[in-house]
Amino acid sequence: MDSFLIQGGRPLCGDIEISGSKNAVLPILAATLLTREKCIIRRVPDLSDVHFMGKIIRSLGADFNYENGIVTIQAKRLKARGDYDLIRKMRGSICILGPLLARSGKASVSMPGGCVIGTRPIDLHLKGLKALAAEIHIRGGYVHAKAGRLQGAEVFLGGRVGPTVLGTANIMMAATLAEGVTVIESAACEPEITDLAHFLIAMGAKIEGAGSPRMVITGVDRLHGAEHEVIPDRIEAATYAMAAAATNGEVTLHHMRCDHLAAVLDKLKEAGVRMEARDTSLKILPGGEISTVDVSTQPYTGFPTDAQAQLMALMLKAAGLSIITERIFESRFMHANELARLGADIAIEGPSAIIRGGLPLSGAEVMASDLRASAALVIAGLMCPGSTQVNRIYHLDRGYEGMDKKLRSIGAKVKRVKER
């Protein structure tokens, strides 16, 4: 396995192009299974999760080609079984369930895997498909679903911690080929859901209300091929913005959407980060004294859980106490113990992390536990004087396109090495 070896204590300076969104592209790739015709997806990030999804799509009998950020898919014929050996590696792959069932009338999909950040059940996915008249059984670690033609229905997708993003994606994809009208109440409002809706509409779907808690989908008999460009990755943008602020750097992020980051930018301003925000770019300026902030993660449009770990790393720079409360996943503070190896003082009290910032930090060897925890450790390593080795960076390769190259392009001393 690879590691990042970071020589910290250097301000970042330069320009970064934000890649296409990991969380948007995976459901969009799954949605191509709804048609026999060719689909072309542009601005697809070069990530291990994307290539895993490509393997899954090929295993289902479809053609999948990735070249220079462009994916071409044609699923003339489909197998209806998503195998364990592939799906166990990536939780996002569960989003093939809705398209397979809608198009083939049956689907057998392994229960998914992914990062260890707490319980992420698929009960709302299954509840929604049952409401659309699917028959669901779970046997041997697989979800087995079958239906004649799915039937439109009213579906409520509110969960214990808010709407389900992947569940909303799965149900809306299935509903595009259902007979009649489907109304999804308490639908996820994330930009990634809106982006999926735009692609489905380009394929001929009839969808109203995407980006709001109430979505209305009128089923059609068939969908056709389409082309689509994926939205920018708002979490990647948030990560590099916090890295720039943490190192007192001057970095401009290009080809991004500031309107997708309102909650993050609000907290960065509250923390004293100097910035210039435009529609499609964000410039982080040096000279701001980082102050403590308190934040609770929430569904969109609130502060995203996927940026919580990175903010925790930034708060190590702020003298005083910050409190970060995690409301989405119950086991998403695994990075706190690793940050402590760098000198951080973080106490976990139930769903909250209490960070006493402003203490001296020093480089050390640390272990990444999940995708966003890895990003937090990289940010902390960039802040620390001395050498920091972040192990198990395969997590980063799942969600950040060429992070080491992008960081080097703005002055970071980051080297990819083999773990000892």
Which residues are tagged catalytic? Answer: 115
Candidates 55, 145, 131; CA nearest to 99 is: 145
- β-strands 63-67, 39-42: how paired? unpaired
Q: Which helix (H) or strand (E) holds 99?
A: helix 97-104
CA angle (208, 210, 216) in 5-degree steps:
40
Type of residue at 88: R
Q: Answer whether 366's CB lies under 8 Å from 359's CB.
A: no
Give 45-68 as a DSSP string.
Answer: ---HHHHHHHHHHHHTT-EEEEET
Closest CA to 168 of 144, 200, 138, 136: 200
Do the Cβ atoms of 124 and 95 come closer than 8 Å?
no
**Cβ count near 411 (within 10 Å):** 17
Q: Which long-range contacts (CB under 8 A, 24 or more apart) does 202-209 make?
A: 202/226, 202/227, 202/228, 203/31, 203/34, 203/35, 203/39, 203/176, 205/176, 206/176, 207/172, 207/176
- Select from 242, 243, 276, 285 the least CA-distant residue to 258: 276
Cα(69)–Cα(87) distance, rounded to whole angstroms?
A: 23
Task: Give the strand order in the sheet containing 387-391.
Answer: 365-367, 387-391, 2-7, 413-418
